[in-house]
Amino acid sequence: MHPRRRRRPRRPVWTPLATAGLAVAAMIALWHVSSGTAQGEPPGGMVWIPGGEFWMGAQDVSDHDTVGMLVTRDARPIHRVYVDAFWMDATVVTNGEFARFIDATGYVTVAERTPRAEDVPGASPADLVAGSAVFAPPDHPVPLNNYLQWWSYVPGASWRHPEGPASNLRGRDRYPVVQVAYEDAEMYARWAGKRLPTEAEWEFAARGGLSGKPYVWGDEFRPRGRWMANTHQGQFPVIDYGSDGHIGLAAVGLYPPNGYGLYDMAGNVWQWVSDWYRPDYYTQLAREGAVARNPRGPASSFDPDEPGQRKRGMRGGSFLCTDQYCSRYIVGTRGKGEVSSGANHLGFRCVKDT
C-alpha cells in the first residue's frame, strides 16, 4: 500500500498500489551484471550489490495469481535499466538500531508529534492528536473494496507503541521498526551516513541476480512446499492462520536470503524508497527508448487516486499481502505512501554509495 502533513486520517492515507502485465519472453533471458567489485571492508550489516543492467517491472505470475496481475498496472511496461554498484542493509532497520538513533539525536518521529491546525484544514482541536494507522481486522468477512474496514487511526501509536499505547517493544529489538514516515526514515539514513534506495536500486537488489522471475527466490511461491516470506494465510482481513510460522510482524532474517544475501525483500514490512510516485513513470522511461541509467524517479508526485497527496514509492509488500487482496510480494510490483504517514506494516532499509 497522504498529502496533507500529519492529519488524523479516518483511513490510512497511504495506499499501496502495484502493477503487472504480459510477460515478454525475450526479456527473461537478458541480464547483464557490471564487473564492479566490493572495495574495502564491508560496512557493518550491509551486503555488496554489484550493479548492472536488468529488466525492471512486474513479470507474469506463474501460478496465475489473478489479484497479483490486476495490481501490477503501474509496474509496466517492463523496461531496461542500469544501476551502479552500492551497499545495502542486509535487513530492514530494526527497533534496536532505530532506538540508538533516537538516543543519539533526540529525534521525535512524525507520529509522535501533535498535528498542527494549519496542516489539517477544518479539523477540530480534538482531532489534532498524535498517532498513526494500525491494522484492525474485523471479526467477520467484509467486501475487499474499502480498506477503512480493517485500518484505524490510533492515537498514541508510534514506533515505540506499534499497535497503540498498550503495545511496546519489549523483546522486539530484532523486529523491524515500523510506524515511520518518510521523513523519519530519511533522517535515520542521514544519521547513519547512508541514504534510502531508489526504486531501481531496490528492485535490482531484490532480484538477487535472477531475471524474469515473479518472486525474489524464483518461479514458485512455495518451492518444494517451503514458506519463503512472512505473508498472510487465511481469510483476509479477518484471520491469519500463521501457516508460514508467524501471525503479524516477524523478526528480521527468519526466511532465506536472496541471491545477494538480502533478507525479507518480500513480505513482513513495506519499505520506503526515495522516488516520488507516479503511475505513468515507467511509460515515460520506456518511451525514451534507451537504457535508463540510475533513474531517480519523477520530478514530482502524482497519484490520480488521490491527486492532492505527495507520495513516495514503497516496495516489498508486508505480512498482510495475500493472493486474495494484495500480492505485492511479487517482485517488480509497486506501492505508494503519503510522506507524512506511517503504519504498523511499514519500515525501511538503507543503502550506501561505494
What was the pLDDT predicted at 67?
A: 63
For 284-295, what is the mean pLDDT? 95
> pLDDT tens for residues 150-174?
999 999 999 999 999 999 999 999 9
User: Which of the pair, 87 or 121, is modelled with greater confidence?
Assistant: 87
Residue 14 lies in a domain: no
Residue 118 lies in a domain: yes
What was the pLDDT predicted at 35?
A: 42
Q: How open is the CA angle 254-348-295, to the nearest 5 degrees?
A: 120
Residue 82 has pLDDT above 60, yes or no: yes
Q: Tell me what the pLDDT averaged over the chain comes to.
A: 88
For 276-283, what is the mean pLDDT? 97
Residue 122 lies in a domain: yes
- What is the distance between the alpha carbons of residues 126 and 123, in angstroms, rounded to a whole number? 8
Closest CA to 85 of 57, 46, 55, 30: 46
What was the pLDDT predicted at 38?
A: 66
CB-based contact 335:12 (threshold 8 Å): no
Residue 254 has pLDDT above 60, yes or no: yes
- Residue 176 DSSP class: B
Please give the C-alpha separations between residue 113 and each of 139, 166, 231, in angstroms, as whole numbers. Answer: 31, 18, 31
Residue 12 lies in a domain: no
pTM over 0.75: yes
Residue 73 has pLDDT above 70, yes or no: yes
CATH of the domain at 261: 3.90.1580.10
Residue 15 lies in a domain: no
Name the 3-class secondary structure at 201.
Answer: helix
Q: Which domain holds residue 44?
A: 25-353
What was the pLDDT predicted at 60?
A: 67
Residue 25 has pLDDT above 90, yes or no: no
Percent over 70 (pLDDT), the chain: 85
What was the pLDDT predicted at 62?
A: 55
Considering its fold, how many domains does the chain have in total?
1
Residue 188 has pLDDT above 50, yes or no: yes
Percent over 90 (pLDDT), the chain: 75
User: Which of the pair, 4 or 99, is modelled with greater confidence?
Assistant: 99
> pLDDT tens for residues 200-218?
999 999 999 999 999 999 9
Residue 10 lies in a domain: no
What was the pLDDT predicted at 11?
A: 36
For 190-196, what is the mean pLDDT? 98
Q: Where does residue 141 fall: left (phi above 0), alpha (psi -120 to 50 degrees), or beta otherwise?
A: beta
Residue 259 lies in a domain: yes
What was the pLDDT predicted at 43?
A: 92
For 333-348, what is the mean pLDDT? 97
Residue 252 has pLDDT above 50, yes or no: yes
Residue 65 lies in a domain: yes
Give the lowest-confidence range in 26-35, 203-212, 215-224, 249-258.
26-35
